[in-house]
Amino acid sequence: MKRTHHCNELRPSHIGQIVTLTGWVHSRRDLGGLIFIDIRDREGRTQTVFDPSDLPKELFEKAAALRSECVVSITGKVRQRPAGTNNSKIPTGEVEVMTQSLEVLNMAEPLPFQIDDPEAAAKVAEETRLQYRYLDLRRPEMARNLKLRSKVAIATRQFMDEQGFLEVETPTLFKSTPEGAREFLVPNRREPGTFYALPQSPQQFKQILMVGGIEKYFQLARCYRDEDLRADRQPEFTQVDIEMSFIEREDIYNLIEGLLQRVWKTALGMDIPTPFKRLRFEEALNRYGIDKPDTRFGMELVDFTEEFKASTFKVFSGAIANGGVVKALNAKGLASATQGQIETMTEYAKSFGAKGLAFIKVENGEWKSPIVKFFSDAEKAALTSKLKIEEGDLILFAADQWLNACEILGKIRLYCADVLKGQGKLTIDPNRFDFLWVVDFPLLGFDREQSRWYSSHHPFTAPVAEDISFLKTDPKRVRGQHYDVVVNGVELGGGSIRIHQPEVQKTVFEDVLQISPEETKLRFGYMLDAFKYGAPPHGGIALGFDRLIAILCNTPSIRDVIAFPKTAKGVDLMTDSPTTVSSKQLRELYLEVKAQKKE
């Protein structure tokens, strides 16, 4: 049965050889007196021919009984196809295998969906594809995605090894750490009422590894977060997790730029330029209204706070008087926006707490807008020159506190780009990758509801050295040594230089985050202990591996690059998990289910 070649291997140079191919019946073309069967494996497909004139009747009938996706082993002689019958669509299209023997390894029932026609298969509902994932995975597109994923994983390991990193595995049965994402819990049979938690990331272990003298660690780590899902979020996902000792931010930038260079070369054969651009958090917000800007198109935000400070238009001047700003963006060529599109954008603005959305449509040489009558000539002139206003443009405004105004227009900028793409007025080269680092994030944010500070990244992020003195006096002003790597508006990963002095870490936990000393000891005591015994300065980063692969495969959903993903409600449609468990299992774990069963 052993195959001699795979199904994408035979070429004219093989003519005359006796070969054995194994694989699936991709398609069968039964001409009555002559049968063609395309046999397919992971690598490709090859045409085999059944000619009754030199085959036993029984064998020919066996071939006639085959249907799509039966598993077969076919032995025969490779020959040149007759003149004029070459198939230029497939690489093996110059030759065919004259069958001498056929072994049916397994029959196949009619399929729930067809997988031989790529166009039809791509349209099948994802629900059906996930239920029969083993069939879906046979499609060349899915096979390509998994192959690319494997290649990138191996390239990553190779690169990290070359750079002197050790791959270290960390536990997936971890301790519950209530900060951050909701965790999956695992009940402990040995002690009633105690639980492990699955790690949201190996963050604490990798820092401890630095204290353990590993110096350079990496891992393709599985992480678990029990939060609501999105196209780019699964309950379990993979990170390229990295940590290094005796380094500064620049070392991480260098390393990751090299890694991504290697990955892009391996996966796409592309040379990406380094170093990547750097954008301070503040600048990213000012220009793009988001901390992960897509810089493949312009439409940048422009500030008009000075120009409207004394405006008679109170919505603007009032916002400024309250310490806010006025910002605008020019959606080039979008004056044709429909009522519905303006409505959608207004909803965005309102969801950020704005009262409405001011806009100007520039049509027929006229500014059509409910607010333009309030503008002075000087204000109009400023708008025209700073926004480079031309016929057909749509100008959108936000007047609010700085962060809010930026974020509103950031959201609207992306929406406008989508609309313009749909109208063909904006095209982006699919082979363009705009990498950049976003740096100088604020270390802390303020939660108005709970009236306390929280870590904008995580509590182990080191403050920028010259800002440490403001930790207690002016927390807002403290910048973190945190960095995000962004490509085409997607956050690929992020990390930071960590705190390695126990006193600074204690200050952050107790004075800034207001976690009580007892609580700190309970949750992070072992880390503070570890830091007492000679912790090297260290830092690291984690890249979203699934997102990385999705970008390389040019697919919007990470489900397309995960072999067995879950639905938006966390269900595996193939195995139908999660399920209830027996009362015996529950008893063993000292658990009782109190929720009412759904009918």
Partner RNA sequence: GGGGGUGUAGCUCAAUUGGUUAGAGCGCUGCCCUGUCACGGCAGAGGUUACGGGUUCGAGCCCCGCCACUCCCGCCA
Residues 226-255 that bind RNA (CB under 7 A): 227-233
Looking up tokens 């196209």 gives 231
Q: At its nearest, how many Å lie between RNA and the CB of residue 132?
A: 9
For RNA, give the closer residue by CB, 77 or 151.
77
Q: At its nearest, how many Å lie between RNA and the CB of residue 428?
A: 18
Q: At its nearest, how many Å lie between RNA and the CB of residue 283?
A: 21
Cβ neighbors of 52 (< 8 A, separation 6 or more) are 33, 34, 60
For the record, the structure tokens of 218 come out as 């990496």
Give residues 439-468 in contact with RNA (rule: CB under 7 A): 454-459
| 522 binds RNA, rule: CB under 7 A | no
Looking up tokens 């009412």 gives 596
Site string for RNA, 336-355 (x = CB under 7 A): ---------------x----
480 closest CA partner among 446, 439, 513, 510? 439
Please count the residues of this chain forming the interface with RNA, following the rule CB under 7 A: 72
Q: At its nearest, how many Å lie between RNA and the CB of residue 183?
A: 10
Please report, as a single letter, which amino acid is at residue 580: T
For RNA, give the closer residue by CB, 25 or 168.
25
Which listed range, 9-17, 29-37, 307-315, 470-478, lies at the site for RNA (CB under 7 A)? Answer: 29-37
| 3-class DSSP string for 316-374 | HHHHHHCCCEEEEEEECCCCCCCHHHHHHHHHHHHHCCCCCCEEEEEECCEEECCCHHH
Is the omega angle on the peptide bond into residue 275 within 30 degrees of 0, that is, cis? yes
Pick the binder of RNA from 270, 568, 581, 593 (CB under 7 A).
568
577 closest CA partner among 569, 587, 585? 569
Pick the binder of RNA from 11, 18, 29, 517 (CB under 7 A).
29
CA angle 241, 242, 247 (to 5 degrees): 160
> How far apart are the C-alpha atoms of 74 and 71, rounded to whole Å?
10
| 76 binds RNA, rule: CB under 7 A | no
Cβ neighbors of 580 (< 8 A, separation 6 or more) are 593
Site string for RNA, 91-130 (x = CB under 7 A): --x--x-------------xxxxx-xx--x--xxxxxx-x
For RNA, give the closer residue by CB, 90 or 315.
90
Give residues 527-556 in contact with RNA (rule: CB under 7 A): none
| 195 binds RNA, rule: CB under 7 A | no
| 53 binds RNA, rule: CB under 7 A | yes
> How far apart are the C-alpha atoms of 40 and 26, rounded to whole Å?
6
| 14 binds RNA, rule: CB under 7 A | no
Site string for RNA, 159-178 (x = CB under 7 A): ------------------x-
Q: At its nearest, how many Å lie between RNA and the CB of residue 116?
A: 7
